[in-house]
Amino acid sequence: MRLIAADDWRPSSMTERRLLELEKEGLLRRRTSSSWPEWIAPGADHREPEPPKGYVVSFAKFHRHGLGSPPSRFMRALCQHYGVELQHFSPNAITATAVFAAVCEGYLGMMPHWDLWLHLYRGELFKASTWTTGVRKPVRAGCLNLVLKTGKTKRPREYIPVGLTSNHAGWDSQWFYLRNDDDLLPVYTGRLISERPTHWTYGVVHVHQSWLDPPPRRLEEATRGRPNSRSRPLGRPSSEGAPADVSAAEDGRDGSQRLVPGSRGLPNV
């Protein structure tokens, strides 16, 4: 396949009025500071993203699909594991992460389980069509799709059906600047990803296979409509399903508590 140059950014359609609507819907934090606001509408002279220091590029669609602000520990772990910036996620990738966190907390009674994520999902690289056979172009936003692993396994049957939107027309023009508190998310550089890194498809390493028991069995029970009513979340959920207190996830004393990358060779966020 031959790659050609990526298209330029589309000018942002996000005005302060439209961002205030998101704030009123509870999808963005309320602005509390005029000197360091929680979000900023791009100026008319910003033909492409130029976020001020301490800000990243986000999209209205992300917040409608479940992206929390500030970002959860699980979201930060995904950024580090896949080596991406926030704008690299596709809207459906944001949906997948929000649904997974909700499943872990609402059905399994635990915070997002990292090895279960790697067991179920892989990253795929989206390249835009050029309408010419064998020719594609990288995209500046939305190149990372997170999809359920298929093949000669029963993994798709282990998980609940997730309906994903097929039409996201115009979403990539709905960008704005989101405050990046404590630099929790990767700094925006605008880099393009032209080839899929091999680790995007990695599963659970052999030494961590035992950490998958019992979550998959409990997940299968949930897909059959029998959630474990005795389970209790290990942390207080946020709007993105992330724990407010992740101390239990870091001690590694119980298989169900290995939730996000930590000291076992994975990103430490």
140 pLDDT band, cuts 50/70/90, is: very high
Residue 256: per-residue pLDDT: 35
Residue 196 has pLDDT above 90, yes or no: yes
Residue 113: per-residue pLDDT: 87
233 pLDDT band, cuts 50/70/90, is: very low
Residue 164: per-residue pLDDT: 75
β-partners of residue 123 are: 146
269 pLDDT band, cuts 50/70/90, is: low
Mean pLDDT of 42-67: 94
Name the H helices within 31-170: 60-64, 73-82, 91-106, 114-120, 155-158
Residue 82 has pLDDT above 90, yes or no: yes
Residue 28: per-residue pLDDT: 96
14 pLDDT band, cuts 50/70/90, is: very high
Residue 111: per-residue pLDDT: 87
| CB-CB neighbours of 234 under 10 Å | 20
Residue 153: per-residue pLDDT: 57
| CB-CB neighbours of 19 under 10 Å | 24
Give the whole-angstrom CA distance, residue 129 versus residue 125: 13
Residue 62: per-residue pLDDT: 96
Mean pLDDT of 205-224: 65
In terms of residues, how long is the chain? 269
Give the whole-angstrom CA distance, residue 34 versus residue 16: 13
Residue 239 has pLDDT above 70, yes or no: no
216 pLDDT band, cuts 50/70/90, is: low
Residue 121: per-residue pLDDT: 92
Residue 234: per-residue pLDDT: 28
Q: Average model confidence (pLDDT) for the chain?
A: 79
Residue 71 has pLDDT above 80, yes or no: yes
Q: Which residue has the higher pLDDT, 211 or 40?
A: 40
Torsion, CA 94, CA 200, CA 147, CA 151, rounded to 10? -170
Residue 257 has pLDDT above 50, yes or no: no
Residue 37: per-residue pLDDT: 96
Structure tokens at 145: 């799709």
Residue 229: per-residue pLDDT: 37
- Token pair 């067991």 is found at 119
Residue 254 has pLDDT above 60, yes or no: no
